[in-house]
Amino acid sequence: MSTNKVIHAIYNDDDILMDAVKASRAAHHHIEEIYTPFPVHGLDKAMGLAPTRIAIASFLYGVVGLTVAANLLNYMMIVDWPQDIGGKPSFAFYQNMPAFVPILFELTVFFAAHLMVITFYLRSRLWPFKEAENPDVRTTDDHFLMEVAVNGNEEDMISFFKNTGAVEVKVIDKH
């Protein structure tokens, strides 16, 4: 069984973390993961992560919701059991469209929101009853942890991260 060494550099300020990420990327250190207690604006770009396609997924989920809503309303109100409600004719979907707009909107938002949450959990691999993968409990409160693969002289990397403003630097054997 092979072991990989990683460095856990712990920071207590998000601005210092951002500067450290930029310095680490400039020094060509491979950042494995960053653990933060809250979202840090611009961290994804500083890490060099690819842009997200979440907006495209959200739009497609909204289209699915609109399609399901339109077909559901057409079937229920026109095909299956047409009713004369408020003197509106039940001969065609387009004739009742103004009355259907709120339901179409609500089901579009419903599908987009719920499918986005499901997509988030699947992409994040957050299954029910999953054990936490957080390496340091302080990152859920007020500290930031940058996990960097050791790829060279360990002592030089430790001094590099201490110079970037890390309050604590540890070398960990990852199995």
Residue 145: predicted pLDDT: 96
Q: Which residues pair with 114 in a beta bridge?
A: none
Residue 83: predicted pLDDT: 77
Q: What is the pTM of this model?
A: 0.71
Q: What is the Cα–Cα distance from 66 to 60, expressed in whole angstroms?
A: 10
Q: What is the Cα–Cα distance from 38 to 107, expressed in whole angstroms?
A: 31
List b or e across 121-153, with b for residues whose CB sees 16 or more CB atoms inside 10 angstroms. Answer: eeeeeeeeeeeeeebbebbeeebbbbbbebeee
Same domain, 78 and 120: yes
Asked if 144 and 35 count as a contact pair (C-beta separation under 8 A), the reply is yes
In the chain, how many domains are there? 2
User: Within a 10 A sphere around the Cβ of 95, how many other Cβ atoms?
Assistant: 12
Residue 96: predicted pLDDT: 80
Q: What is the Cα–Cα distance from 72 to 79, expressed in whole angstroms?
A: 10
Residue 3: predicted pLDDT: 57
Nearest to residue 151, comparing CAs of 12, 14, 19, 27? 27
Same domain, 120 and 58: yes
Residue 130: predicted pLDDT: 86
Residue 175: predicted pLDDT: 67
Element holding 23 (H helix, E strand)? helix 14-26
45 in a domain, yes or no? no
Tell me the pLDDT of the chain (175 aa) as tens digits.
445 889 999 999 999 999 999 999 999 999 999 999 999 999 999 999 998 888 999 999 999 999 999 999 999 988 888 877 777 677 788 888 888 899 999 999 999 999 999 999 998 888 888 888 888 889 989 999 999 999 878 899 999 999 999 999 999 887 6
Asked if 150 and 6 count as a contact pair (C-beta separation under 8 A), the reply is yes
Q: What is the Cα–Cα distance from 71 to 68, expressed in whole angstroms?
A: 5
Q: What is the Cα–Cα distance from 149 to 85, expressed in whole angstroms?
A: 67
Same domain, 158 and 102: no
Say which CATH number the domain at 19 has.
3.30.70.120
48 in a domain, yes or no? no
Write out the residue range of the structural domain in which residue 165 sits: 4-37+142-174
